[in-house]
Structure 1
Amino acid sequence: MDYNITHGPAFALLEMDLSEGEQVQCESGAMVSMSTTLTLETSMGGKSGGGFLGRAVGALSRSALGGESFFITHITASDGPGHLALAPTTLGDISDTEVDESTSLILQGGSFLAAAPGVQIDTSWGGRHGIFGGEGPFMLKATGSGTLFMASFGAIVRRDLAPGERFVVDSGHMVAFQEGMGLDTRMVAGAGGFFKRMVTSATSGEGLVMEFTGPGPVWMQTRNADAFAGWIKNLIPSLKNTSSGQ
């Protein structure tokens, strides 16, 4: 599978050339264009195995709690080689990385764009990390082996942490991180008790943060979708009136 990422970091497009018989899986609705030799098949997301009910429950939890769509689309070059173009919903970038049997990745909801067929996309219980990250208790987990394509709002920045190195990321800027890294999710640090830290978070514009401990890679996005939505709302009087109950 040959691919090229173009038009980044604001309007990134993933272009692929598939040989006959090759397949790629992608987020439902990500297809921009494709050759007539390619065929589309949509199925419920989640790991294979566990029977229909198990896959249905996994897909439903993904849809309701993980921020991802209920379905994954499988695109196959069934009638000969062909060209495929994929894009995320939001303005932003696309980044590729390799997943192998020894390296699983945890993705924030909405970050999955596409993957080779050897990569399994599933929900992983995120506990309070998922809840505090604003994405509900479920996050996406990429296992298996193959190329994974992640999408972001804004550009994607990767930082590789050394063993024992600690690094803080605002939850709204998180894209993905390697499973097994040390992780503590909390409100923005500040002096004083719980209430004072709450006030500091509200007045500073910063909220919940994720503190990672290396080794391992962390991917971040340069824009925060929730903050951007709030900025847009403040520019539109009708939306401000609606939110204030007027």
Structure 2
Amino acid sequence: MRVHTRHTPAFGVARVVLGPGEAVQAAAEALLASSFGVAPSAPARKGGPVVFTAPAEGGWVDLAPKRAGDVYPLEFDGTQGWCVAKDAVLGRPAGVRRDQHWPALQSLFGGDAGFLDHYGGVGPLILSCTGPVEVFSLDPGEIVTVMPGFLVAYPDSVQVRLRAIDPAGPQSVRTGEGLALDFAGPGRVLVQARSTR
């Protein structure tokens, strides 16, 4: 599976090139177009994702997000996972899995469902962002603070701390309201130029 992007960073579209029998999972409404013969599966639950499978000769699928912005293929090589903003995933291959009960997120958010998901595996995870993607490459010991609405993703190798901006103000681990994330290098942190909140 290969991913080519076009019309970025304002109105990104991801072309997912599939080999024979390869598949990509995405929301049904993300499908812009596909080569003839690509077969969509019925979603397991109403509003759930659809799996688009290429025929014996291979094919392609064009995926477009609902909102304007960038699309960004994040390559997973199997050596580490990434924490990704909850609504940022546009599509993923079978080789990239969502880890629902990732221990680091449980310690970050406690027992509540937070504004991040964890993914691991091998292949390209296609991300949808509300603005151009910027990468902060942190040196060892370098610290940067990011507001949750701008965060796209960060790898397991980066240290992170979630804190209240104003301890007396309103806060929500579900939306990120009133919170900030401190990241310590080495590693990369992906942010988007427009907030989702």
Please give the range of the TM-score, normalised by the shorter of the 2 chains.
0.7 to 0.9
Determine if contact 1:27/1:112 at 8 Å carries over to the other structure. Answer: no
SS in 1 for 2:100: strand
**In structure 2, the residue corresponding to 1:29 is in which secondary structure?**
helix
* 1:73-109 CA distance string (max 9 Å, x none): 2111125332310011221101112112221011111
SS at match of 1:172: helix
- Spell out, residue by residue over 1:180-216, the C-alpha distance to the aligned partner (whole angstroms, 9 max, x if none): 4211112337xxxx44xx49xxxxxx94210011122
8 A contact 1:172–1:224 mirrored in 2 = yes
Q: 1:26 to 1:3 in 2, by over 3 A?
A: same
TM-score under structure 1 normalisation?
A: 0.67
Residue 70 of structure 1 and its aligned partner are, at CA, apart by: 6.0
How far residue 128 of structure 1 moved from its aligned partner, in angstroms, is 7.2
Rg larger for: 1
For normalisation by structure 2, the TM-score amounts to 0.82
The answer to whether structure 1 residue 218 and structure 2 residue 189 are counterparts is yes
In 2: Cα distance, 1:130 partner to 1:13 partner: 32
Choose between structure 1 and 2: higher strand proportion. Answer: 2
Kindly provide the amino acid, as one letter, of the partner of residue 157 in structure 1: E
Deviations 1:38-91 (A, max 9, x none): 0011445xxxxxxxxxxxxxx9xxxxxxxxx96232111125332310011221
Supply the AA of the counterpart residue of 2:116.
M
Which residue of 2 is the match for residue 94 of structure 1? 71
Given that 1:155 and 1:221 are in contact with CA atoms closer than 8 Å, whether structure 2 keeps it comes out as: yes
Asked if the contact 1:25/1:72 (under 8 Å) is kept, the reply is: yes
Task: Show the counterpart of 1:173.
Answer: 150
| Partner AA of 1:216 in structure 2 | G
The counterpart of 1:188, out of the listed 155, 162, 165, is 165
The correspondence of residues 109-128 of structure 1 with structure 2, limited to 5 A, is 109-124=86-101, 126-127=105-106
Q: What are structure 1's unaligned runs of at least 5 residues? A: 45-58, 60-68, 200-205, 227-246
Q: Which residue number corresponds to residue 33 of structure 1?
A: 33
> Does structure 2 conserve the Cα–Cα contact (< 8 Å) formed by 1:157 and 1:221?
yes
Q: CA deviation at 1:21?
A: 1.6
Q: 2 CA distance for matches of 1:70 and 1:214?
A: 38
Q: Which amino acid aligns with 2:192?
A: Q
Assess, with a 3 A threshold, how the Cα gap between structure 1 residues 214 and 141 changes in structure 2: closer, same or farther. Answer: same
Give aligned-pair identity as a percent. 27
Secondary structure of 2:37's counterpart equals: coil
> What is the letter of the counterpart of residue 224 of structure 1?
S
Q: Which residue of 2 aligns with 1:149?
A: 126
Note closer, same or farther for the CA distance 1:2–1:146 as it changes in structure 2 (3 Å cut). closer
Matching of residue 104 in structure 1 with residue 75 in structure 2: no
Q: Choose between structure 1 and 2: higher helix proportion.
A: 1
Q: Distance in 2 between matches of 1:217 and 1:141?
A: 16
Which residue identity lines up with residue 11 of structure 1 in the other structure? F
Provide the C-alpha distance between the structure 1 equivalents of 2:108 and 2:147, rounded to a whole number of angstroms.
Answer: 12
